[in-house]
A = this chain, B = another copy of it.
Amino acid sequence: MAERLAILAGRGALPGLLARAAPEALFVTFDGVGAEPPKGHAHHLRAAFSQIGALFDGLRAQGVDQVVLAGAMARPTLDPDQFDDRMQALAPRLMAAMTGGDDALLRLVIKVFEEEGFAVLGAHQVAPDLVASEGVLTRAEPTGADFADIERATAILAALAPLDIGQATVVAGGLCLGIETLQGTDALLRFVAATPADLRRQPGGVLVKRPKAGQELRVDMPAIGPDTVKAAAAAGLGGIVVTAGQVMLLERDALLATADEAELFLWAIAP
């Protein structure tokens, strides 16, 4: 039997990028999520979270044996009266996972699809171009002081990794200007940009971003895009470092053009 992929689409640009990389894939949208199949994409299935058994049957009927979860799916409002038998049976496990946070919930969703016989792929496995391979991707390159800042940033993230904190940090001239918490990378960069100039010894500095230890890259891969580059430039940074193969580059061409224009470097280092 030939392999067939289904893209379970959340919001954002990612599902469309994957559809372009996999034109034969079945594009699945969910009621209440607000994702639409890209124009011209031939294969579409509508589904509902409350009818998860119907989704499994529908996928199998179309020959799907692989799924990729892509894009943000805010927790939907669920009506128990609408649950099919499969969803009824899953409800206790889902509820328990929900109290454990988004991460626990995503891990359970992966497990459920695997129990149903589907392989769960990461977006980077469907479209390898989405992640950076090792090397400097921009015209600008890291220089002397950057290497020391990158080393310090990496040490900070390593110290926090066992605590499930810190997907990113900014270090400039040896000074840590911010550590990413719940609010995400953009909030971190805005915080850094607001640092009073007299506290910063010198311009420049680096954003280092990489997954937390044990992060489930198939459904929750760190990502940067053109807006990240703009925010890094606005924060006065000299460059961005990601781990190769582990951080998505959204709108890669625009991202690199933005970086070149702002004379920022983007360097993908070995994890």
Contact = CB atoms under 8 A, between A and B. Distances in A.
Contacts of A187: 191, 194-195
Interface in A145-173: 152, 155-156, 159-160, 162-163, 165
Interface stretch (A53-61, A135-143, A174-182, A248-256): A174-182
Contact of A182 (B163, B181, B199): B199
Interface of A, secondary structure class, is mixed
Interface in A169-216: 175-179, 181-183, 187, 191, 194-196, 199-200
A191 B75 CA distance: 25
Given A163-B176, A178-B181, 20 more contacts: A152-B163, A156-B160, A156-B163, A156-B165, A159-B159, A159-B162, A160-B160, A165-B176, A175-B181, A176-B181, A176-B182, A177-B182, A178-B183, A179-B181, A182-B199, A183-B191, A183-B196, A183-B199, A187-B191, A187-B194
8 contacts: A156-B165, A165-B179, A177-B181, A177-B182, A178-B183, A183-B194, A187-B194, A191-B191
A196 B190 CA distance: 14
Contacts of A177: 181-183
A183 B181 CA distance: 16
Contacts of A160: 156, 159-160
B179 A195 contact: no
A33 to B, nearest CB: 16
A152 B175 CA distance: 24
A155 B163 CA distance: 8
A206 to B, nearest CB: 14
Contacts of A175: 181-182
A163 to B, nearest CB: 6
A183 B195 CA distance: 6
A165 B179 CA distance: 10
A179 B200 CA distance: 18
A269 B256 CA distance: 50
